[in-house]
Amino acid sequence: MSAPATGLPPRSAIDKAHTWNDTSVFTNRAAWDHAAHDVISLLPGVQAFKGRLSEGPAVLADFMDAADHVTRLVEKVYVYAGMFGAVDTTDQEASAMVSRATGLYGQVAAATAFSRPEMLAIGRDTLDRWMSDEPRLAIYRHFVDDLFRLQKYVRSADVEEVLGMAADPFRGAGTVHEKLSEADIKYAPGTDSAGAHHEVAQGTIGTILDSPDRELRRTGWNNYMDGYLAFKNTFAATYSTALKQDVFRARVRGYPSSLEASLFANNIPVSVFHSLIDTFKANLPTWHKYWAIKRRAMGLETIHTYDIWAPVLPTSPDVSYAQAVDWICEGMAPLGDEYVRALRKGCLEDRWVDIYPNQGKAQGAFSDGSYDTHPFIMMSYDGSLGAMSTLAHELGHSMHSYLTRKTQPAIYGDYSLFVAEVASNFNQALTRARLMRTVDDRAFQIALIQEAMDNFHRYFFIMPTLARFELEMHERVERGQGVTAQDMNALMADLYAEGYGSEMTLDRERDGITWATFGHLYANFYVFQYATGISAAHALAERILDGVPGAAEKYVEFLSLGSSVYPLDALKHAGVDMTGPQAVETTFGVLARYVDRLDELTR
């Protein structure tokens, strides 16, 4: 008779000290409800400016202040609801709060939609004069520069209002994916070599795939992917809807393609996307070499997808949360005492992190927050080196947000997706490099390289592969072709076959459904920015590790720029040019060093 399935604790059993600091945002849900009502009550005051912005600089400044106030409030409302919804997707009240907050976002977008067409109508020369005459407008110079850069894609006030109102229902496809994936699919348990059952869930699948027990990995991965395959037509219909929405928005604004619509918003030429993909394809032999080394090191005749995350050695280091914080702080020491103090305090005192897994917790990890909250982190820490690395990654995001909001006004208090993944992967790179230098134990180094390769696999293999998939899917929709689950699965399997090469044994059906497991695809051309992000991160980390004078200071300045400059310019300030392939090549060089070192350590 097999052993009973292992289970996760309910949310109510998690020690509050290990949960995110919700009371720092709102004292309770009643206070949140009051704030949500306040958002509604503020909208008429914002809409009262419609048709009046041309009256003069004082009126425009008053509107910008009012819009800033309601935007910051709705962001707090959304963060509070979103965190509760993520830490327990079965919390029906939290789900309703998320839906309500999303609707409020749409209402704010619609209420302020008139502002850009009206400011464009005022004219650049007049706005330049007003920004000189009215001190409250002085901070908006970059905002105005960007507004006129985007001018040809801004529609009339009426059309902009409709697009603002459409923001809420257009999130529906992603929401359906999220609920189906994280709340409704019931995955069959995995079974280990002793016959014990292990619960397969978003909060456990990573731990299962890290297991030295191959039978548990095989059954856990199979059952996880089979959960998606059972709903492949629903996932395909949902993603097809999202693709059509992307194409619709691009065409309404007059962009030549969905790709250009996504990249132009951040002043990034499409050549950056294509350069990444070309460089990735040229370096696929490095990945093929890794699969061969791992297969040999593990003593396997054939290597399968479920073996990718498996430890090379049967045991892996246990890393407590406190130890992880210490190691990350040591790794980030080159950035200075102020950076390290803020990071440590956020982890151990201010409760930035919702640490441990529980029933209903969403998959993966993320950093979230608003201009007026802590930069919160949701994750499922399991005591592994991988969990430590995930914590370092999310703390990179959180420290980026912390320094940006500390330095910039609210209008520039965020940053684009293109730079978001730089800070996160940079933290991992520095922490990993520190541990490689200071811990010379062979088993530890093998485990650390394994963690590095797992991270590279996600950001430097899966994400570029998904980017290729996403581009082809968008282009098919733009050509008017239909896309089915069969089409999507076949394309995904073909791309994996090319990426895996002859060493990896492909499961076309289960590998083919990989696209459905990534909610990232519901953010238009998001995934390629993971690959550019890890490239810029390692290029910048190499500068600091090589002792380039001023490199650390420039990097911290980059973290403080927010959206006050364009992403490519911010990265150039830090010391890396992403308009060419050099950073991607540098990062493949780092990857190759890890592969060679693993080869040495396992012979």
Residues that are catalytic = 394
Contacts for 67 with CB less than 8 Å, ≥ 6 apart: 46, 112, 115
Distance, CA of 584 to CA of 494 (rounded, Å) = 24
> Using N-to-C axis directions, what is the helix angle for 417-438 and 321-331, rounded to 10°?
100
Q: Which residues share a beta bridge with 505? A: 304
Nearest by Cα to 600 from 453, 455, 442: 442
Token pair, residue 121, equals 């109508």
Assess contact for 163 and 113: CB atoms under 8 A: yes
* DSSP secondary structure letter of residue 6: B
Distance, CA of 93 to CA of 168 (rounded, Å) = 19
Token pair, residue 561, equals 């720029």
Kind of pairing, strands 197-198 and 353-354? unpaired
Assess contact for 430 and 541: CB atoms under 8 A: yes
Distance, CA of 579 to CA of 576 (rounded, Å) = 9
* DSSP secondary structure letter of residue 364: S
| DSSP line for 161-221 | HHHHHHHHHHTHHHHHHHHIIIII--PPPEE-TTS-EE---TTTHHHHHT-S-HHHHHHHH
Assess contact for 34 and 72: CB atoms under 8 A: no
Distance, CA of 108 to CA of 213 (rounded, Å) = 51
Nearest by Cα to 503 from 279, 243, 293, 192: 293
Assess contact for 372 and 68: CB atoms under 8 A: no
Token pair, residue 381, equals 């820490």
How far are the Cα atoms of 373, 442, 578 from residue 405, in angstroms, in the given order?
A: 10, 42, 25
Backbone torsions φ then ψ of 332, nearest 5 degrees: -90, 5
Sign of CA dihedral 145, 146, 149, 154: negative
Distance, CA of 486 to CA of 515 (rounded, Å) = 12
Helix, coil or strand: residue 74: helix
Sign of CA dihedral 230, 234, 237, 243: negative
Cα 121 → chain centroid = 36
- Mark out the alpha helices in 48-189 (DSSP H runs): 57-87, 92-112, 115-122, 124-133, 141-149, 157-170, 172-179
